[in-house]
Chain A
Amino acid sequence: MSQAVAFGAKRGSDDKPGATRIPKAARVKNKTPAAMQITAEQILQEVTDRQLEKGAPPPKQPIRNEEELRDYKMRKRKTFEDNIRKNRGVMSNWIKYAEWEAGQKEIQRAESVFERALDEDHRNIGLWLKYAEMEMKNGQVNHARNLWNRGVTILPRADQFWFKFAYMEEMLGEVGKARQVFERWMEWEPQEQAWFSYIKMEMRYKEVERARKIYERFVQVHPVTKYWIKYAKFEEENGYLAAARNVYERGMEFFGDEHTDESFYMAFAKYEERQKEFERVRTIYKYAIDKLGKEKCTDLFKAYSQFEKRHGDRLAIDDVITSKRRLQYEEQLALNSKGL
């Protein structure tokens, strides 16, 4: 006889195919709402209250000898492995396991757990970082180095690896090795923050010549006027004034007339003003206004007029202001040629 019904139920003729049959005892006779209704809120409240009234916690059993320790460890390991088996992809299971092993000072076991986790997901940056941090925390310098080398080879665009690798070498006082890390990183032509951190590192050890060479490479890799200006400022701050001027001039050559923007001209002019070369400042401003065309010059004009107010004579100020006004009137005419 085919078993398709719940126990005690009778097969009815008007049963729809696939309908579950409720046993007779459970069939509801009175379908009116009860006098006292309960809400979900109240159920939740009662549950939480009951939970808060928890009884005494289980007794603390201190571990007294080797055997108890081994038992405890085995139980914990079994829990961890079960969790991993339940949910292999969730990294926190792996990481908690490995961190616990590291806490027990079982470094080799922790390493093996981390390696298994890396087999699971080698692109998880957090996992690599936790692994490397475990090695560094336990003073395993060469292990950490190997690990960073692997990480940096497999995921070269993960900046965190490079930063932390270089920082580790610097912390150990291995400046040469830190340099090599940065050099390897610069081969990948990373974003500007990477370059700046390399330059800052060299400046920390007062290696101005090397910092200059890095700046040279940097402005070729990221040809933006902002970084040329930053390069020139770096030269100026370290007192190499002729080199700073050279940078500005080369920048103008590099970008040519079409791509030099007004911020570059303004920075150059301000530099010359600091060097008290006022004639050069005037030539720069005039050249910039000439080359840039009328639309992009608003800030430049402002800066020029301020400069003249500071250092120029009356004629020069008038000159600037009239040329500015002329520009404005030309614009207005262009907009509204019929009548003003």
Chain B
Amino acid sequence: MSESEDSSGNSTTSVSRDDVTQTADSSQSTTSTTRLSLVAERLRQLKEKRESARKENIAEVAKEDYENRLPLNHLSKERRIEWEKRDFQARKEAQESGLDYDREKLLSERADEVEKWEAKRKRKKNPDQGFADFQQASYRQYQRLTKQLKPDMEAYESSKSSLPESALYPSVDTLPTSSDQYPTHSAVQRLVDDVEKQISKRKQFSRRREFKFGKDIDYINERNKKFNEKAERFYGKYTAELKQNLERGTAI
């Protein structure tokens, strides 16, 4: 194959006369045709490879795009579904063979793993330690509120340039000046909303208990009822026997 110039000046790749016009019997001619066909074959194979690569790439891209669009927990969800299927199967088998499935499962669980699972389940994040004193309770509330507080960093940064040093970093003795602005309406509104949120949260802390019909009435008053309940809570377990004796009328 050689490049030659046409009469019009275009360069063309042309198969030279020698390669084409070969007689079948000369050995040189057969190698040339086979060489040609080999080359063509290779070219065809390369083209095929390129095509297949392109198709595979497209398929991969489509798959990746699909996976990206899936919800973030799709893997764990799939695992869970698989587990549930296997569990169901195992449960059915156990039932057919007459074994207690739950016991069987317990036998295959490791003791230290079980301990860890139990501890993790019990461990709530920041559980309420109960009432110690009002200061402690107030501090707990303060921590919760400041965790939820989102400081307005832009307003702060802008105030760094607009306000004087003594207003932003005051010492103990800095007195309020007449140039102190009253807080903006939105700031006051934010405070009001927050206070109202605190009040509504406080209401959630103790709920109204329902009235139980049929329970013995040993009170004359709502206040008396609460007192009796309190006494029962603290002394109930010690005076249970005594109470039974009194109800019966005779001591055992």
Main secondary structure of the interface of B (DSSP, over half): helix
A176 interface neighbour in B168, B182, B187, Cβ under 8 Å: B168
B151 touches A205 (CB 8 A): yes
- Name which of A162-170, A236-244, A315-323 contacts chain B: A162-170
Q: Say whether, besides A173-B187, A174-B183, A197-B146, A187 and B172 are in contact (CB < 8 Å).
A: yes
Which single member of A168, A175, A187 contacts B156 (CB below 8 Å)? A175
Pick 9 A–B contacts, CB within 8 A, sort by A.
A136-B195, A138-B192, A139-B189, A139-B191, A163-B142, A170-B151, A179-B168, A197-B143, A210-B169
Q: From known contacts A204-B149, A205-B153, infer whether A136 and B191 are also in contact, taking CB-CB under 8 Å.
A: yes
What's the least CB distance linking A318 to chain B, in Å? 30
The answer to whether A139 touches B134, judged by C-beta atoms less than 8 angstroms apart, is: no
Question: A217 to nearest B CB, angstroms?
Answer: 13
The answer on a CB contact under 8 Å between A176 and B153 is no
Q: What's the minimum C-beta distance from A44 to chain B, rounded to whole angstroms? A: 5
A170 to B149, CA, bound (A): 9
Residue of A nearest to B220 (CB): A44
| CB < 8 Å A-B pair total | 104
B235 contacts chain A at the CB level, 8 A cutoff:
no
CB pair A173–B219 under 8 Å, yes or no, is: no
Task: Check B195–A159 contact: CB distance below 8 A.
Answer: no
Question: Which residues of chain B have a CB within 8 Å of any CB of chain A?
Answer: 134-135, 138-139, 142-143, 145-146, 149, 151-153, 155-156, 159, 163, 167-172, 174, 182-184, 187-192, 194-196, 198-199, 216-220
Structural contact, A180 and B183, CB atoms closer than 8 A: no
Is A180 touching B196 in the complex (CB atoms < 8 A)?
no
Q: Does A291 contact B (CB under 8 A)?
A: no
Per-position binary interface string of chain A over residues 126-163, scored 1 when its CB falls under 8 Å from any chain B CB and 0 otherwise: 00000001001111011000000000000000111001
Which A residues are CB-close (under 8 A) to B151?
A: 170, 204-205
A45 to B219, CA, bound (A): 9
Partner of A201, one of B146, B167, B171: B146
B192 to chain A, nearest CB (A): 5
The chain B residue with its CB closest to the CB of A174 is B183
Size of the A side of the interface (Cβ < 8 Å), in residues, is 41
| CB closest chain-A residue, reference B216 | A41
Contact between B183 and A173 (Cβ–Cβ < 8 Å)?
yes
Write out the residue numbers on chain B whose beta carbons fall within 8 Å of the beta carbon of A138. Answer: 192
- A171→B190 contact, CB < 8 A: yes
Contact B170 A179, beta carbon cutoff 8 Å: yes
Known contacts A41-B216, A184-B172; is A200 also within 8 Å of B146 by CB?
yes
Task: Tell me the minimal C-beta distance from A281 to chain B in angstroms.
Answer: 30
Given contacts A163-B138, A172-B183, A200-B146, contact A139 B192 (CB under 8 A): yes
Is A5 in the interface zone, CB < 8 Å from B? Answer: no
Give the chain B neighbours of A44 by CB distance below 8 A: 217-220
Residues of B within 8 A of A141 (CB): 182-183, 188, 191
A180 near B220: Cβ-Cβ < 8 Å: no
- Encoded as 1 (CB less than 8 Å from any B CB) or 0, chain A from 210 to 222 comes to 1000000000000
Contact between B168 and A172, CB atoms less than 8 A apart: no
Cα distance, A179 to B98, chains bound together (Å): 72
Report B5 CB to chain A, min CB distance, Å: 71
Among B146, B190, B198, the residue within 8 A (CB) of A172 is B190
Are B142 and A167 in contact, with the CB atoms below 8 A?
A: yes
Residues of A within 8 A of B196 (CB): 137
- Chain A residues with CB under 8 A of B168: 175-176, 179
Is residue A48 contacting chain B, with contact meaning CB distance below 8 A?
Answer: yes
**Nearest CB of chain A from residue B180's CB, rounded to whole Å:** 9
Q: When the two chains form their complex, are residues B192 and A137 in contact, meaning their CB atoms are under 8 A apart?
A: yes
The reply on A35 being an interface residue by CB < 8 A is no
Residues of chain B within 8 A (CB-CB) of A74 are: none
Mark A4-44 against chain B: 1 for CB-CB distance below 8 A, else 0: 00000000000000000000000000000000000001001
Taking the closest CB of chain B, its distance from the CB of A178, in whole angstroms, is 10
- Would you list the 4 A-B pairs with minimal beta carbon distance, nearest first? A160-B138, A180-B170, A163-B142, A172-B183
Contact: B146 with A175, CB < 8 Å? no
Give the CA-CA distance A138 to B192 in the complex, in Å.
7
Within the complex, which residue of A41, A160, A168 is in contact with B218, where a contact is CB–CB below 8 Å?
A41
**Bound complex: CA A244 to CA B220 (Å):** 67
Question: Is B191's CB under 8 angstroms from A159's CB?
Answer: no
Say whether, besides A41-B218, A137-B192, A180-B172, A167 and B183 are in contact (CB < 8 Å): no
Closest to A161 in B: B138
User: Given A159-B135, A164-B138, A205-B153, 10 more contacts at CB 8 Å?
Assistant: A133-B199, A136-B191, A141-B182, A171-B194, A175-B168, A176-B163, A176-B168, A197-B139, A200-B146, A206-B153
